[in-house]
Chains A and B, each alone.
Chain A
Amino acid sequence: MWLIIHKNLISLLLALTFSLLFFIQPVRADIKKGEAFYKQNCLSCHSLSRTTKVSLEEAKALKGMPLWFAGSKFKKGWLEKWLAAPKPILGVKWGTLTKGANDHPAVDASKIPDLVSYLMTLVDAEIKKGATEPLPESRGKRKSMLGKTRQLFEKHQGCYACHQYINRLDKTIGGFSGPSLVGADKRLNPDWVYAFLKSPRRYYPNGGCPIPGESAFNKFTDENRAALATYITNMGVK
C-alpha cells in the first residue's frame, strides 16, 4: 500500500518538474515555421529576391516593397511591435499620390516570434557594420552633432520635402510621398541607412528617393552619409 502511494508520489513529482521545466524553458522561435508563414502570408506583396529596375508599369503593379534585406534594415523590437499592430509609415496610399494610410494585415501574437526570427535572417551580407558614429555621451557634444546633421537634412538636401520628421521645435512637419521618419530611431538600423544612402538603387531599384549621387550638384561625402544615418536613427532625440 505504502509502496503504491510512494510510487504515485514520485511519478507525480516527476510530472510536475517536467511540466514546470516545459513552461520555464524560453519558447524557442522556429525559423522554418516563420519562413512558411511568410511564404503564405507576405510573399504575395513583399518580394524576397533582389530586383533590378523595372518599367514603371511593372513597378506600379507591385503591392509592397521588397524585404530581402529586412533583417539588416529593421530593429527586431520594432518588427515585433509593428507586425502585431501596424501603424502607417508612408504618407500616401500605396502606389498612388493620394494622402492617406495603408491598412496593413496584422499578425497574430502567437506567430510573431517565428516570423520575426525568420525576418532577422534576411540580411544583406554586403552591409558594413559600424560605418556610422554613435551619438556622443555628453549633452553638449550631442547637441552640436545633431545640430550639424540637421542642417544637412534640412538645408543641404531638403529631405523633409518628401519625409515627415521632427523639427527643432518638436513639431512634426514635412511631405507625404515618402515614408515618415518619425520613429525612425526605433525602426531603422544605422548601418542599413548608411548603406542605403550610399547605394539607394541596390534596395529600391526604381529610385523614388533622389539621394544625390555622382551627377548631383550638391553631393554627399561618406562623412555626410554617416552623419545623416546617425541623425535619422536618433530622430527626436535631444
Chain B
Amino acid sequence: MMTKHLTLSNYIKLQLILSVACFCLVITFLPASAAQDNGDALYQYYCAQCHGEKGDGKGINATEDLPTQPKDFTSPKNLPVFTDEQIVNTIKQGGPKEQLSFIMPPWGDILSDEQIDVLKKLLRKICKCQYDPAAAAAAAAEAAKQKQ
C-alpha cells in the first residue's frame, strides 16, 4: 500500500500542499460571485420589478391591486424622511420592521449586509438626498394630523 511508504514528513508536506491548494481554490471561487454584482445590477434584479427600472415606483408589479404602492425613490418626499439605518432595516427585514407595508419584502436572507449597504447608497444617489430631520418631523406631523 501507498500509505506504508509515506513517511511522517512527507505526510506533513502533502497536507501542506493540499491545504494551500484548497485555500487557493476557495479564494478564487468564493467571493467572485458576491463581489461582482454592483449596485445597479442588484437593483435591477431584486428591486426594479416593484420600484421601477428608474426608481420612480412604476415597476411591472405596481398594480392597482396593491394596498400600498412601491415608493418612488426620485420623489423629494420619500427618502429624506428616512435615516440610513431605517433604509437598511427596511431592505433587510422588510417594510413591517419600520411600520411600512408588508408589500415591501425582506431581503436579508438573500443579500449580504455589504450588498444592502451598496443598495442604500444607490438609493441616496437616485433621490439625490440625505436624511433631513426637518422633513421627517414635517412628515410625522402630517401623519399625526391625518390620524385624527
Tell me whether B45 and A156 are in contact (CB under 8 A): no
Q: How far is the CB of A152 from chain B (nearest CB, A)?
A: 11
Q: Which of A2-10, A74-82, A158-166, A182-190 lies on the face that meets chain B?
A: A158-166
Known A97-B49, A175-B49, A217-B94; contact A55-B106, beta-carbon cutoff 8 A: no
Q: Is B53 an interface residue (CB 8 A)?
A: yes
Q: Is B60 an interface residue (CB 8 A)?
A: yes
Known A55-B36, A99-B60, A160-B65; contact A213-B50, beta-carbon cutoff 8 A: no
Q: Is A157 an interface residue (CB 8 A)?
A: yes
Q: How far is the CB of A181 from chain B (nearest CB, A)?
A: 14
Known A175-B49, A217-B96; contact A212-B61, beta-carbon cutoff 8 A: no
Q: Is B102 an interface residue (CB 8 A)?
A: yes
Chain A: interface secondary structure? loop
Which single residue of chain B is at the shortest CB-CB distance from A91?
B60
Tell me whether A55 and B37 are in contact (CB under 8 A): yes
Which single residue of chain A is at the shortest CB-CB distance from B60?
A176
Tell me whether A210 and B106 are in contact (CB under 8 A): yes
The interface residues of chain A lying within 8 Å CB-to-CB of B48 are 97
Tell me whether A216 and B49 are in contact (CB under 8 A): no
Q: Out of B63, B93, B109, name the residue touching A174 (CB < 8 Å).
A: B63
Tell me whether B101 and A158 are in contact (CB under 8 A): yes
A 36-64 binary contact with B (CB < 8 Å = 1; else 0):
00000000000000000111111100000
Q: Give me the 9 closest cross-chain CB pairs, A-B, nearest first.
A: A215-B108, A213-B109, A175-B61, A210-B105, A216-B106, A207-B110, A177-B49, A217-B97, A217-B93
Between A and B, 13 residue pairs with Cβ closer than 8 Å are A55-B32, A55-B36, A56-B37, A175-B49, A175-B50, A177-B49, A177-B61, A206-B110, A210-B105, A212-B94, A212-B109, A213-B109, A214-B108
With A57-B37, A201-B110 given, name 13 new contacts (CB 8 A): A97-B49, A98-B60, A99-B60, A157-B102, A162-B49, A162-B61, A175-B61, A177-B61, A206-B45, A210-B105, A210-B107, A215-B106, A215-B109
